[in-house]
Amino acid sequence: MRKIIAQNKRVEVVKDETPAVKSHFLLVKTLYSTISPGTELTIIENSTDKPITLGYSAMGVVEEVGSGITGVQKGDLVAVYGAPYVQHSEYLLVPKTLFAKVPPNVEAKEAALAGIGAIAIHALRIADLQFGETAVIVGLGLLGQMIAQIANAASYRVIAYDLHEERSTMVKEQANIRSFSSMEEMKQAIAESTNGNGADAVLLCAGGKRSPLTGQSLEWIRNKGKVVIVGDIEPDFPRNLMFSKEAQLLISRAGGPGRYDKVYEAEAVDYPYGFVRWTEGRNIEEYIRLVSEKRIDVSSFIKEEVNFSDVTEAFEALLNKNSTTLTKVINFSK
């Protein structure tokens, strides 16, 4: 089989052995996988002579079902998430804790975004918002756009901001969310929406490591409000402002409980439903439900499809900033 790797700051397609199915795992033939520009471009730019397999969100058709798995059979479509099990690879060996079945009314390319959806859902769970509270989404790349739509579907009061006007306009048109490319206009909207009290939570989805947004975000929240770091930002916050508001600083890690836990992933042992309600696997299922019930619309995220045979050129365009799209979906049939 073929898969995509990063090595010496370049993207290559290499050959590897097709994995054999084993107990509590599915063997999946990939139909589509999603490029996550923020994460994957960083990996490429930092890559050395040691090859790193790219990708973590995909969908495909079940080829074989390992023992100990029920409710799915050969030929079913599934959404899958989580490296190293999910990659830009023709075949994937995925534990039973990291997939969700795809119903007929969900397009294959929409299902391939399941990993992004799970990360967005978990970020909102970390924010722990109540019905009617105000969430400010800062940074409207792929993940920020997804979070804004899901927050809106949950009936939070959503205010979104991105420096780039086209991204701000995109979320406004897609879900009728109040969105701004002017920070002054955004701050005014927060004041109006909260009667001057400040937002209940700010979710920072922008990158840039040392960002001025970290300190500024504390100005936008209410007393005892929250700032959730979702993007690649160093948590450098002024103590005085944190102290005066008794602010909560939180970090959202990937798609939910279970991520990076060898027992949950490598050994495919699920957490008890009554004790860990929302694992990363159940967040994948929830994303699929939101799309299936038309509560969110991700069609604008997947307008650019790339043939597997042309994938190196697609990554080069992203690396050279020649593309303004939020993501590219890789078609493994071409």
The CA distance from 122 to 126, in Å, is 6
Beta bridge partners of 60: 30, 78
The one-character DSSP state at 209 is B
Claim to verify: residue 124 and residue 243 sit in the same structural domain: yes
Order of strands, sheet of 221-229, starting from the edge strand that comes earlier in the sequence: 178-180, 157-161, 134-138, 199-204, 221-229, 248-251
pLDDT score, position 227: 96
The residue to which tokens 């005892």 are assigned: 224
Claim to verify: residue 141 and residue 244 sit in the same structural domain: yes
pLDDT score, position 321: 64
Query: What's the predicted TM-score (pTM) here?
Result: 0.95
pLDDT score, position 59: 98
Structural domain count, the chain: 2
Claim to verify: residue 173 and residue 281 sit in the same structural domain: no
Q: Which of 96, 50, 92, 94 is nearest to 72 (CA)?
A: 96
Domain that holds residue 88: 2-113+258-331
Q: What is the 3-state secondary structure (H, E, C) of 71-138?
A: CCCCCCEEEEECCCCCCCECEEEEEHHHEEECCCCCCHHHHCCHHHHHHHHHHHHHHCCCCCCEEEEE
Q: Which of 150, 227, 136, 149 is nearest to 190 (CA)?
A: 136
The CA distance from 241 to 298, in Å, is 37
Q: Are 53 and 19 in contact (CB under 8 A)?
A: no
Using left for φ > 0, alpha for ψ between -120 and 50, and beta otherwise, residue 72 falls in beta
**Token pair of 262 as six digits:** 């060898």
pLDDT score, position 60: 98
Q: What is the DSSP string of 7-31?
A: ETTEEEEEE-PPPPP-TTEEEEEEE
Claim to verify: residue 104 and residue 152 sit in the same structural domain: no
Q: Which of 22, 100, 30, 91 is nearest to 61 (CA)?
A: 30
**Token pair of 250 as six digits:** 């939180």
223: domain CATH number is: 3.40.50.720
135 half-sphere exposure, CB direction, 13 A CA radius = 29
Question: In the listed set 221, 251, 281, which residue is the last one of a domain according to the structure?
Answer: 251
Mean pLDDT by 10 residues, the chain (334 residues): 93 94 97 91 90 96 96 97 96 98 97 97 97 95 95 96 91 86 96 96 84 86 96 83 92 95 96 97 98 95 90 83 74 88
Question: In the listed set 208, 234, 251, which residue is the last one of a domain according to the structure?
Answer: 251
